[in-house]
Structure formats: C-alpha cells, structure tokens
Amino acid sequence: MKHATSLILVTICLLGCAERYPAHWWTPVPEEDAEWWEILPQAAGAGEVIVSKRNELGLLSNFTHTPFEFRGKRYESLEGFWQMMKYPEGPGDERAKHTCIVWPHTREQVAQMVGHQAKAAGNLASENMNKMGINWVTFEGQKMPYRTPKKGEHYNLIVEATRAKVNQNPDVQKVLLSTGDLILRPDHKQSENASPAWRYCDIMMEIRESLFR
C-alpha cells in the first residue's frame, strides 16, 4: 500500500511538473535497490524533489566532485571542506596535542577528498572530538561551535563556501536554477533537530532565491 501511494504521488507530481521539469527526477526506483541511507526520488511530496545522486540533481549534494576555491585554497568538494574543519590546523593546534588521540589524515588531505571518503574521514574525526569532549571546529584558527541549533559562525561559513561552489561550477548553477520553485529535499535521512548548517538543501534554496533576484 505504501509503495502504491508513493506511485500515485509521483504520478500527480509528474502531471503537474512535466512541462517545467525533467520527468526522470521523479522516476521511481525499486526499494530493494536503495542504499541503506537513501531516500528515493518517489518519496518527494507535491512541489518537492529529492536531490538524488542518481541524476544530475546530485551536483547539488555536498558529496559531489565540484572543485572550488575559497579564501585562497582549493577544495575538491564541499564535503571535504566541511570535514576538514574537524582536523587540527597544525602541530600547535590543541587537538593535535591530546595524548592517545590518533588523526588518520591531515587537514590538507581531507580538503582534497570527495563523497563517502570525506565523510568517513569526518566520522573518524568526530570520534576523536567525542573522546576529547569538544564541540567545536576551526577555520583559519577561529573556533566555532559545531552542533548548534543557531545560525552562527559555522553556518555562515558553510553558506559562503556553498555559494563559492555554485558560482564557480556552471553546471551546478544551471541545475540549481533549473529546479525553479521546487522544494529541495535531501536523499538521506536527517535528524529533525539537525543544525542549520547541515541542512544543505535549505542553503541551496536560499542561494537559488538570490540568483533569481
């Protein structure tokens, strides 16, 4: 019944969006073919689209290889930029001085990572952060709260870096603009109390609105 309901919603969406948007954005995928973390295209509600890595909408994901320069340095993906900030900035960084803490990568190495590799590196760093009892990351030597319900310094930095990705990758900007007024939804589960900086779809919609002005 759940699958049938999803098909009906997808059909309705296709009828309403066919003239404006590519139909394959909502093409159903068998649930048995889904990755364990994945929200499939047919899960979109009316006026929504899932930012699926199964099609060009995946360019909007943090995981995609979309190189950009930001404040004088090059990053291979937004995910690499994001996870890099959990790592020590150098031997003088207090995170590097903790005994019994092993950092599997350097900050520079993570900055060049893409997709699941970058996420895995970030997960290892998060484990170290938990061991140290810290909830902050750094950029250019400045500490910023990491898990926070507020739109603070970390959020503003992520928005700025995301905007750099969009501006420097014409294909990303083209896809983002092509979504028009659709509500963008992530293709993976996010906690209801996730920090604003983690809600990349909301950030992308904010940037999209500024591009349309």
User: pLDDT (tens digit, 9 = 90+) per residue, 140-175?
Assistant: 999 999 999 999 999 999 999 999 999 999 999 999
Alpha-carbon gap, residue 29 to 42, rounded angstroms: 7
Task: Please check whether residue 117 is in contact with residue 105, taking contact to mean a CB–CB distance below 8 angstroms.
Answer: no
Query: Residue type for 95, please?
Result: R
Structural domain contains residue 148: yes
Model confidence at 19, in pLDDT bands (50, 70, 90)?
Answer: low
In a shared domain, residues 78 and 155: yes
In a shared domain, residues 50 and 72: no
Alpha-carbon dihedral 37, 144, 70, 116, rounded to 10 degrees: -20
Query: Residue type for 38, please?
Result: E
Structural domain contains residue 167: no
Query: Per-residue pLDDT averaged across 72-95, rounded?
Result: 97
In a shared domain, residues 105 and 128: yes
In a shared domain, residues 54 and 74: no
Structural domain contains residue 79: yes
Q: Which residue has the tokens 């950009």?
A: 68
Structural domain contains residue 50: yes
Percent of the chain with pLDDT over 90: 85
Structural domain contains residue 37: yes
pLDDT tens by residue, 35-79: 999 999 999 999 999 999 999 999 999 999 999 999 999 999 999
Alpha-carbon gap, residue 99 to 46, rounded angstroms: 52
Domain range enclosing 207? 2-62+179-212
Pairing of strands 73-75, 68-70: antiparallel
In a shared domain, residues 157 and 191: no
In a shared domain, residues 57 and 77: no
User: Which residues, in sequence order, are CB contacts of 126 under 8 Å at separation 6+?
Assistant: 86
pLDDT at 5 exceeding the cut of 80: no
Q: Which residue has the tokens 């929504």?
A: 48
Structural domain contains residue 13: yes
The predicted pLDDT at position 191 comes to: 85
pTM value > 0.85: yes
Structural domain contains residue 174: no
In a shared domain, residues 111 and 130: yes
Structural domain contains residue 125: yes
The predicted pLDDT at position 157 comes to: 98
pLDDT at 18 exceeding the cut of 70: no
Report the number of distinct structural domains present in the chain.
2
In a shared domain, residues 72 and 149: yes
